[in-house]
Structure 1
Amino acid sequence: MRDAAVQQQSATIGKTESPLLKRLIRNRYMYIMILPGLLYFLIFKYIPMFGLIIAFQEYVPYQGFFGSEWVGFQHFERLFTDPDFWNIFKNTIVLFVLNIVIFFPVPVILAIMLNEVAGAFFKRIVQTVIYIPHFLSWVIIVSISFVMLTKDGGIVNEMLAALGFEKINFLMSPEWFHPMYIIQVIWREAGWGTIVYLAAIASIDPGLYEAARMDGAGRFRQIWHITLPAIRSVVIVLLILRVGHVLDLSFEHVYLLLNSINRPVAEILDTYVYTAGLQQGQFSYTAAVGFFKSFISLFLVLIANKLAKKFGEEGVY
């Protein structure tokens, strides 16, 4: 009798449990595994959003969020009427375009080239060599560039002088800032960016290549008609995610390259926020700049995702 009562009670509880609770219990280990990631985004991404309130205040640290004077859209008005801001905004957009047009295709091309390498040993060596710069900080990358490009004793300038050309002041010249920036980005990140594309290429059915070879397709035909269409969805998703960082470039990298001479073309929103916010104490104004950056990034991601779906791709969501 007691066992029958217990079974009946368990059955009753099982019926009253919600489907959501059942899924949580059934997949409890998976949810425990993703809990640290959820906590990271909650603590460092979502909770700090409350601080955006200071973009509408004349924030004074010792008065706090609730004691500071409310000024509405005053900082945004200053933002949109400041000619220096629009020059900085233009510099940021230029660097982003360089990233998309020049840097973004490089990992795709490298991944396809690595996939065509027949020797596994040589392929692993090349992958290791091009991955290493990713683990070096921007301080090291810029320092190596400084040693190579400096006008007094730099390897590049010494070679130019030996060939009969005039030395070039790469580090202090505004004209050379953009080439130097994008070359350093490619040097550090191109190899690491191939990982996702190589994984996507590895999932392609080898039978497709065999059928193409039987039909007389060469290497380039196979790449054009099999490899590129197979990884197209991955490329589109990563491109959409890259668009979300349109105004969020590497602060450390640009700040290390920045100097008084190339500042008119090298100052970007991230370095401007650091200078105006931390060095000059304009917390509310720089919070407005950060709010503007986030709004533009969100808007562009939504547009890019909608365009991707319009052309038949899955998009991010």
Structure 2
Amino acid sequence: MMYAFILPGTLYFILYKYIPLLGSVIAFQEFSPFQGFLHSDWVGFAHFARIFDSPEVIQVLINTLTLSFLQIAFAFPVPIILALMLNEIRHDWFKRFIQSLVYLPHFLSWVVVIGIVTIFLQSDGVVNSLLKHVFGMEAILFLQEPFLFKPLIVLEIIWKESGWGTIVFLAALAGVNTELYEAATVDGASRWRRIWHITLPAIRSTVVILLILRLGTVLDNGFEQIFLMLNPYVREVGEVLDTYVYYKGILQSDFSFATAVGLFKSVVGLILVITANKLAKKFGEDGIY
């Protein structure tokens, strides 16, 4: 009976994750849809060499890594801080209300989120209208300024996903023995001391595991959000591997190169996960395996 329960999930991974891996062979071919997998010419690692030979691809890699590390540095800690704040709320009804409020943006599609951002930040949008009529300032081209592109992406992620990200941390905090807080209070520990010595150690292993998993997707910035935010003014700083693969693989039909980039992303992610897991174990954490 237990095997019957896991069968749908197993079939999903076999059909949509493992079988498509066979198509990765075209990364080593000059693939032609008319010749197929069996008759396309083999080129070895030529497409992988293109990743490092092209200045355009190097710039895309720099954009991807910069954006990923900005997300880790600024967006990753926000759910932790938010979970700590929610955990300190003592009125259950107010806590549930705030939780529902911060969860809601997660259920909006990126199309809706980018639409809202555009309405607020376009040249004749809400923010610029406020700046012009209230403060007498000139319009700021938020969506066309290259130096504002990455901060906007990170802020959008924080607004949309931070509330949802608190679920795992709140679940970890729910398992903390309340007697520890009571004993600390009796010993005269302030609220900050209780958070530092009881709450944070309780979720440390959860933070480490999620950070390891996040490092596995360091070259994956999310296609939809970036694609919708791109325009000719910010393409140089905003083009990432996900959108670059779309333009090369779909619009220019360079299927082999697009597959090579995707395979390169997967290998780098695997190496980072293994390395981070070993480091976590070295520092006394459990890791993910």
Q: Does TM, scored on the shorter chain, surpass 0.5?
A: yes
Aligned to 2:210: 238
User: Is 1:159 aligned with 2:130?
Assistant: yes
Residue correspondence of structure 1 range 269-280 to structure 2 within 5 A: 269-280=241-252
Superposition pairs of residues 69-148 of structure 1, within 5 angstroms? 69-148=41-120
Is 1:207–2:179 an aligned residue pair?
yes
The Cα of 1:98 is off from its aligned counterpart by 1.0
1:165 CA displacement? 2.5
In the TM superposition, what are the counterparts of 1:256-275 in structure 2 within 5 Å? 256-275=228-247
Cα shift at 1:119: 1.1
Deviation, 1:31, is 2.4
Residues 209-247 of structure 1 show CA distances to partners (whole Å, capped at 9, x for unaligned) of 011001001111100000000110000000000000001
Aligned partners of 2:3, 2:172: CA distance in 1, in Å? 26
Alpha-carbon distance between aligned partners in 2 of 1:245 and 1:35, rounded to the nearest angstrom: 27
Q: Could you tell me the TM-score, scaled by structure 2's length?
A: 0.98
Match of 1:66 among 30, 35, 38: 38
1:141 aligns to what SS in structure 2? helix
Map of 2:160 onto structure 1? 188
CA distance in 1, matches of 2:241, 2:5: 36
- Match among 121, 130, 135 for residue 149 of structure 1: 121
Structure 1 position 306 matched with structure 2 position 278: yes
2:24 alignment partner in structure 1:
52
Paired with 1:102 and 1:110, the residues of 2 have a C-alpha distance of 13
TM-superposed deviation, 1:30? 2.6
CA distance in 2, matches of 1:100, 1:149: 25
Cα deviation for residue 166 of structure 1 reads 2.3
User: CA deviation digits over 1:172-191, x for unaligned, max 9?
Assistant: 11111011111100011000
- Identify the residue that residue 7 of structure 1 maps to in structure 2: none
Quick one: which amino acid aligns to residue 127 of structure 2? Answer: V
For 2:197, the equivalent position in structure 1 comes to 225
Query: Could you say what the CA RMSD is over the residues aligned between the two structures, in angstroms?
Result: 0.8
Q: Which amino acid aligns with 1:210?
A: E
Deviation at 1:144, TM superposition (A): 0.2
Q: Which has the larger radius of gyration?
A: 1
- Note the C-alpha offset of 1:118: 1.1
Q: Secondary structure at the match of 1:139?
A: helix
- Long gaps (5+) in structure 1: 1-28
Distance apart, 1:64 and its partner CA: 0.9
Give, as a single letter, the amino acid of the residue that structure 2 aligns with 1:215.
Answer: D
- Counterpart amino acid of residue 59 in structure 1: F
Q: CA deviation at 1:164?
A: 2.8
Q: How many residues align?
A: 288
Moved more, 165-174 or 183-192: 165-174
The equivalent of 1:38 in structure 2 is 10
Write the letter of the residue equivalent to 1:234.
Answer: T
Unmatched segments (≥5 aa) in structure 2: none
Identity of aligned residues (%): 55
Deviations 1:223-274 (A, max 9, x none): 0000000110000000000000001121000000001110010000000000
